[in-house]
Chains A and B, each alone.
Chain A
């Protein structure tokens, strides 16, 4: 089954990835792929009925399966499968028949000494995610696996197990369902990596798959970084772990790319290894190199059976998907006339206030979506305290010229401050905001020209900058009540 895109951009022209800006340094470009682990927002664990809950007393959300007790058997959580499917479909993946494997290694917080993870047959494969600027990041796979417990090493240096006096293990997290989303090595710029993580987080939240809180560890990013001369073959890569914020993603890969470039330039080899990002010194440090990497001895997990969702389930999940952030930005862009990747559109959708803004546009009293977007972007509290109808009334006054942009802003502040019980007309009247008649405004403009003959001469000579002084004088004379657009129009009219 081939994946169908769920939405199209408002722009029907997709620029190719090559047309986007690349990060370069000393003639090298970076090649980056990201592996993002997200904890799924299920009630219970991936293979048992213990609660999947962050922040509880250590070792309270446990059971024989979580602890890997002898004789315990895993039973797959159907809700986790559905959330993984939702995410896969949102990332344009093919949702397919999948299996689980055992990844064998010893570590105290890994109860069975193997992790149950999808290996060669993941539930989601071959998708993509379009960044707001149209850059497309290929998705290789999005597979289900269980989380490990959490170790705290006491004593010794740096919180590492080596040299510590003892370790405490909390198994509450063990068995929590994860989806690991692996991109293709498409990313060429730190900003793209950051945008990818942000966009993925928005999608995760939108589809209800995860709360995606990087600070609580429910979303964790690893970056595979290499560098090369443009057009050359891929070079040896390093994997960067412990990247715990969107900002760190950009910093860590930029640091790592520069480190590798320096090695190449010095004629030294880049050794394939796992590196640890240190937020404090802003550097990556060797964690382990490939030579001492574990041999995980993957094999098919015999305690579980093949998961084959089948077309019916897949199509139901697809039909139930909510509008995704990109789709919502496109809708807001179309109604407001602002670009889909403009700050206003991005922010308002991110804050889940796009529905409110669009409601203004459909109000009976003739609201203006572009003006509503501007106000909501600048005043995030609007949507919670002012009904859409009242904001619509204000934008109608503003677009008809009954109040100026500056006055409208003041009215918005009054509404938020508690005067919203009154309608915007009443607030305008109370504040003494009355539409200035044209003759009054014209006499103010004439006065400003008379007072500043030099500025007027420069303006007439085509120096646009000179206009500022003239408009400023009118605003001052009108105590800020003049409509800047009307003043500009009058000045241009008089010039010709």
Chain B
């Protein structure tokens, strides 16, 4: 067959199901790109070429037998390396996991596989998903495919870069404070954090359990909808999973923006650079032109999100990461007694940022300080949720920047944790409230680098968020077609 390999997951799956291209052809095309550019980008901790070839052949035989290989038939997918894969090393980009191989697949990994997707590799991340640049990886940084002197964002930088570089049609990341949306913005892909509980966390190695959600990186809004439809839906093995059927998103994409009430946050924390702000303004105009009503809203607690987050997330992390003690799995540094073994193992195994957050979180939960820090942060968290709920009484979605700036240079913020933390100013509040958020590529900013606009919606209104995102995407496409014409 001489058919061209499509980029989009929806089109790949359709072509594979109709037999116009084979899953193996699709895979080889992507593996070839990995061969060409992976050395400079370092999106992957592990490329699963052999396993992927085997799986692609399986898909092809299913098609040959006339059976349905599933809605993601033959779609190459990259998995953030904090998602458990049975028998395949899962590292969290940390030394402490050693060569540990999970005895089970994460629910999302299982569901993607059942939908016919082909896993091509495990992607790099900031160690234990703590960071905004993928520089905090024990295995070295990932580079932005648009400019390899720059970061891809983080913590799911490897997954964002893998899609942006064409190594995989889709990828999965996890988002605790913006770890999908910020790298999606910096790499020019769609990135979605769905409503908390929409996607099972079983098999996601926890950072902040009450904040973590898994979501996709894709080339298009439709691809993201397709992926989420495949991985969402109730999982009895995750007690925080919502008891609902999978999200229904693709049917809403063509509804347009007419009548949609779009919120502009008047008291949004400052910090967005002019190029990003300009794109955001354009996004409002685009939706207004499509018939949406732009409504000013206030979210007074928005600005407190970052502070509350840097108490709650480390507090949960300090507990979640306590199991990495050298006793049952992963790396162990020998020492004369148990307590010294704990200390030596954790001293050697964890990187600086992880240690910083474990200490922050331990302190925030300690007797005598817990009420002042963790307790207060929880109150702020409720305040933020209430403020958003009040705003959503008047609007259907809210637009903000996804990241304050375009991709910054490698090393730029590596020695300044606070500057790094500010990258997540606009994404953190929806993790605290449990609401969905997504970044949609919306043109370019300084240095011709991608800019993402963030669409926010109330919990369980993921479909409304997608409706607005699809409209923004249509605007961008029309602009590009206009430029070409």
| Residues of A bordering B, CB below 8 Å | 64, 67-76, 102, 104, 106, 108, 111-114, 161-162, 167, 169, 295, 297-299, 302-305
Contact = CB atoms under 8 A, between A and B. Distances in A.
Given A75-B239, A114-B322, A70 B205 contact: yes
A299 B365 contact: yes
A71 B203 contact: yes
Contacts of B323: 68, 70, 111-113
A70 B322 contact: no
Contacts of B338: 108, 161, 167
A297 B361 CA distance: 10
Nearest to A113: B322
A298 B239 CA distance: 20
B319 A73 contact: no
Given A102-B319, A104-B319, A297-B370, A302 B210 contact: yes
Given A73-B201, A113-B323, A302 B374 contact: no
Contact of A71 (B202, B210, B324, B365): B202
A299 B102 CA distance: 28
Interface in B311-356: 315-316, 318-319, 322-325, 327-329, 337-339, 342
B403 interface: no
B478 interface: no
Contacts of A73: 201-202, 237-239
Contacts of B316: 299, 302
30 contacts: A64-B102, A67-B329, A69-B103, A70-B90, A70-B97, A70-B206, A70-B323, A71-B90, A71-B202, A73-B237, A73-B238, A74-B239, A75-B236, A75-B238, A104-B319, A104-B322, A108-B325, A108-B338, A111-B323, A111-B328, A161-B338, A167-B338, A295-B367, A297-B318, A297-B319, A297-B367, A302-B208, A302-B316, A303-B239, A304-B240
Contacts of B319: 102, 104, 113-114, 297, 299
B209 interface: yes
A114 B209 CA distance: 14
A67 B106 CA distance: 16
Contacts of A295: 366-367
B84 interface: yes
B325 A106 contact: yes
A167 B239 CA distance: 34
For chain B, what secondary structure do more than half of its interface residues adopt (helix, strand, loop), or is it mixed? Answer: loop
Contact of B106 (A71, A102, A114, A161): A71
B204 interface: yes
Contacts of B103: 64, 69
Contacts of B238: 73, 75
A73 B210 CA distance: 13
A170 to B, nearest CB: 13
A64 B104 CA distance: 9
Q: Which of A69, A73, A161 gathers the greatest number of chain B CB atoms within 10 Å?
A: A73
A296 to B, nearest CB: 8
Contacts of A297: 318-319, 362, 365-367, 370
A303 B323 CA distance: 15
Interface-centre pick from A64, A161, A303 (highest chain B CB count, 10 A): A303
Contacts of B102: 64, 69-71
A71 B204 contact: yes
A173 to B, nearest CB: 15
Nearest to A293: B367
A298 B322 CA distance: 14
Interface in B75-121: 83-84, 90, 92, 97, 100, 102-104, 106
A67 B365 CA distance: 24
Contacts of B327: 108, 111, 169
Interface in B214-267: 236-240
Given A71-B202, A299-B374, 4 more contacts: A72-B202, A73-B237, A73-B238, A303-B239
Q: Which 3 A/B pairs are nearest by Cβ-Cβ distance?
A: A113-B322, A302-B210, A297-B365
A359 B319 CA distance: 58
B362 A303 contact: no
Contacts of A74: 239
B462 to A, nearest CB: 21
A302 B240 CA distance: 8
A214 B316 CA distance: 36
B307 to A, nearest CB: 18
B205 A71 contact: yes
A46 to B, nearest CB: 12
Contacts of A112: 322-323
B239 A305 contact: yes
A113 B366 contact: no
Nearest to B375: A299
B205 A76 contact: no
A106 B339 CA distance: 9
A71 B240 contact: no
Contact of B84 (A67, A71, A111, A299): A71
Nearest to B106: A71
A113 B204 CA distance: 18
Nearest to B342: A106
Nearest to A76: B239
A485 to B, nearest CB: 69
Nearest to B324: A70
Given A295-B366, A303-B240, A305-B240, A67 B209 contact: no
A75 B234 CA distance: 13
A80 to B, nearest CB: 14
B370 to A, nearest CB: 7
A353 B425 CA distance: 71
Contact of B322 (A64, A106, A303): A106
Most buried by A among B203, B318, B327: B327
A162 B340 CA distance: 12
A161 B209 CA distance: 33
Nearest to B321: A113
Contacts of A68: 323, 328
A70 B84 contact: yes
A106 B338 CA distance: 10
Q: Point out which of B202, B323, B374 has the most chain A C-beta atoms below 10 A from its C-beta.
A: B323
Nearest to B238: A73
Nearest to B92: A70
A72 B202 CA distance: 6
Nearest to A100: B239
Interface in B392-427: none
Contact of A302 (B84, B209, B237): B209
A432 to B, nearest CB: 73
A162 B338 CA distance: 9
Interface string B369-390: 0100010000000000000000
A368 B233 CA distance: 66
A114 B322 CA distance: 8
A113 B365 CA distance: 15
Contacts of A298: 365
A305 B362 CA distance: 23
A67 B325 CA distance: 12
Contacts of A113: 319, 322-323, 325
A269 B239 CA distance: 48
Nearest to A297: B365
Contacts of B90: 70-71
B263 to A, nearest CB: 29
A113 B325 CA distance: 8
Contacts of A304: 239-240
Contacts of B100: 70
Contacts of A69: 102-103, 328-329
B94 to A, nearest CB: 10
A107 to B, nearest CB: 8
Contacts of A64: 102-104
B206 A71 contact: yes
Nearest to B205: A70
A113 to B, nearest CB: 3
A169 B103 CA distance: 20
Contacts of B97: 70
Contacts of B203: 71
